[in-house]
Structure 1
């Protein structure tokens, strides 16, 4: 990290005058190492309680917004009104100092996978750094910026949102050179009111987009059309049958998807036409940054996917498990169900679906509508959670092999699955992260 105590003091309007170098910035005292700056945040527990622990672990400086009479000793102390805002200010300064090109990616679904694809493509030509895991909010994004190497040429940032205004802040901190919206779904509709409200929220990614920048959006999303029409920046659309950049899906197997763009064949190591759409975004970023088709193809063919996003693994008895359990909304669940149904697999296809959270007043209807994506391709359907009762009632009309388990009966569901699945079977697990399907996967993998 290329920051001194004096620089930080100037940013935060403090009086420290040391040229001492800061090696790292952390808000978790357990991650503090020698010569770090500690950022005490107020959450479930007040981070100010852990300043002494941070000092023991090697911190030489801390932010401080508590009573001045309790200022810690033997540390460089930067007194601020709000430690989180100060943390964000440091990130904004550091981004300007390192001066990478910034790529911003948001969307109701696919933003993490698209981030992974885009970084892999751009890494063919540039020194890149990307959002690690799901660090995509008002803490995670500045953390990502402050942890990028000094040599970073392109910074690929994932941006998440729960409420209106969230992306405005993130975009203003990062000032993207280029940005993309992958898809408008129903995630967080409880807070944003409607898909139209979600579309407006996603468009906040342009709040800090540079005037000569570009925005990539899906061509088949009518909610975005009126919103992008007044943008000063260039807008490029992508899709299958419409848009400036189009792809044709050629073949999908258990472990890959092949497609064509402008006569060039590409391959990605994930299933589903929805992931081909994500690859279209990565392709578009690649061309925007001057890469040729061969370089883009090399980046896409074996990119590394963030954990729990449509990943294959094995159960203890050899059955295949397709895990997509980090988040869920109706659009995302429908897409992965359709893709799983189309896969040419031997053995039975079994589906385990858990509640989709934060859908508001329409939650029962949205869960019930998942019946449109469940057909005879699936030998058995396991449903888990309070909201899945609505889908259970719907499926009982047409499906004989459908089973329901409440949240209190998770262990019963695990036991039933263990007894049921055969070595040649394939299982899809999909649900919101809060439903804990990762625990089910771990249990199935235990020998």
Structure 2
């Protein structure tokens, strides 16, 4: 199916097309480029113009460039523009303008990608749905997602993130959502904002991009000081303002959450009546995210009850709480451990949620060296927390679910603060880096254990996940 013709791309970007073409996709990376894609030669760590020839070798239909690279034939179909990123933004705006899709924009300190994937899962059962890949939520990810949107999409889910003040509003105005959802506010990127209230102000700017009469949805359990930063912008579009959470004021109210061996049962009150539904993944935070998604589905005109039923088909993205079995001895099925890979990112709120999930699992006794199965947490540094980072790490020792954790291994200078705050019987190993823990992973875990690995992406604690997987034969649960 055609996504962009030469004429459409030139008109959208204000560029000059050197030849006719029809593109069926848009790509910024030759490693994942598909035949028929329009290659966008962005400048990042490397200049995309250095890869235009390779893009054509891989089957690109055309390339969006500022000039023809020397190694590209004069006959190659190009769209020549003054600035490639600005042209990609223009392409995204043009795609948004031509679609009749109902658009959901999602932001939040925690849970953006999970909520985006939940929305993709449930909306896909109700109409043609377009959504961002991975965590494509920044200054190039949002326009790229929009530029890839088919003209006949019925729903679109756009994830919008930030690292510094002032980043969300222009992306929201580009996406022009009919519904804006803030999952929650937490201590992520605190270093750049100074306070949770500052983060709330930035996240609330997603509502500045709402279509007239659009719906604003946000976590109603937040402290008053943060809600005050959100409520004003939430009403700027003149449409409905909805809260979700456990507070009595919430329009979508979570009444009960039960976690048990990898599943979540949620009971909620909604404007359409009470709902009971299941997630095939453990997590109170996932239940809360799902409630915000259900509110968004109804605001988009979708079927609320059907969406609640379809939530059981959602699985967390890789590195965000996925559960798998690592079989240590294939000759003896009992010699295995359960691995919770939550190593993509971390902040105090998401770590607290992960510890509750770990506490909900029952280890297996009698199959390992230690005889008793254990709940084991392997934790890497939480980054970008600002001047209070050491106190925030040490405070994890006081988490109520830490009482159910048998052993904690820590990696990184910040996690040393937690390690020192733990009681002696919970202390496992501490290492300066995650790589230091990978040298002998069999000393960290044992058969029968349930193991959580979590840390900020920059802590590289995902390498511990890989080391544990290599201990045996991995089976997905």
**Cα–Cα, structure 1 residues 154 and 392, in superposed 2: closer, same or farther, change >3 Å?**
same
Residue 258 of structure 1 corresponds to which residue in structure 2? Answer: 265
Aligned to 1:237: 243
Question: Shift in Å at residue 295 of structure 1?
Answer: 0.5
Aligned to 1:427, the other structure's residue is in SS state strand
Unaligned runs of 5+ in 2: 329-335, 365-372, 473-477
CA–CA separation in structure 2 for the residues paired with 1:68 and 1:320: 51
Mapped to 2, the partners of 1:26 and 1:74 lie a distance apart of 21
> Offset at 1:198?
0.8
Q: 1:320 aligns with which of 322, 327, 338?
A: 338
Matched with 1:193 is 194
Aligned CA distance change for structure 1 residues 415 and 442 (closer, same or farther; 3 Å): same
Preserved CA contact (<8 Å) 2:36 2:60: yes
1:382-409 Cα offsets, whole Å, 9 max, x none, are 01112111112222xx332313433456
The 5 A counterparts of 1:254-403 are: 254-262=261-269, 263-317=274-328, 318-346=336-364, 347-373=373-399, 375-395=402-422, 398-403=423-428
Report SS of the residue matched to 2:191.
helix
- TM (norm. structure 1) is 0.92
TM-aligned CA deviation for residue 164 of structure 1: 1.2
Alignment of 1:396-415 (within 5 A): 398-408=423-433, 410-411=435-436, 413-415=437-439
Query: How many corresponding residue pairs?
Result: 444
Task: Identify if the C-alpha distance between structure 1 residues 404 and 155 changes in structure 2 by more than 3 Å, giving closer, same or farther.
Answer: same
Deviations 1:217-238 (A, max 9, x none): 1111120234323523321001
Q: String of CA shifts for 1:278-311, please: whole Å, max 9, x gaps.
A: 1111211222234444302221112132111111
Question: C-alpha distance in 2, partners of 1:10/1:420?
Answer: 58
Q: Which moved more, 1:27-36 or 1:377-386?
A: 27-36
Q: Which residue of 2 aligns with 1:224?
A: 227
Are 2:123 and 2:129, in contact at CA under 8 Å, matched by a contact in 1?
A: yes
CA distance in 1: counterparts of 2:338 and 2:37, whole angstroms: 44
Separation in 2, partners of 1:55, 1:147: 19
In 2, are the aligned partners of 1:238 and 1:246 still within 8 Å (CA)? Answer: yes
SS at the partner of 1:121? helix
Tell me the TM-score normalised to structure 2 length: 0.87
Distance in 2, Cα, partners of 1:356 & 1:250: 27
Q: Distance in 1 between matches of 2:52 and 2:361?
A: 53
Q: Encode CA deviations 1:58-102: one digit per residue, 9 max, x unaligned.
A: 334333335999996222333323211111110110122233111
- Checking the alignment, whether the CA contact within 8 Å between 2:411 and 2:431 is kept in structure 1 is yes
Give the 3-state SS of the residue equivalent to 1:161 in structure 2: coil
On the 8 A contact 1:353/1:384 being kept in 2, the answer is yes
Matched residues in 1 for 2:387 and 2:146: separation? 37
**Uncovered stretches (5+) of structure 1, i.e. residues with no partner:** none
Report the 3-state secondary structure (helix = DSSP H, G, I; strand = E; otherwise coil) of the residue aligned with 2:398: helix
Q: Judge conservation of contact 2:434–2:464 (CA < 8 Å) in 1.
A: no
What is residue 475 of structure 2 aligned with on the other side? none
- 1:122, 1:299 within 8 Å by CA — same for their partners in 2? no
Q: 1:247 to 1:401 in 2, by over 3 A?
A: closer
SS in 2 for 1:277: helix
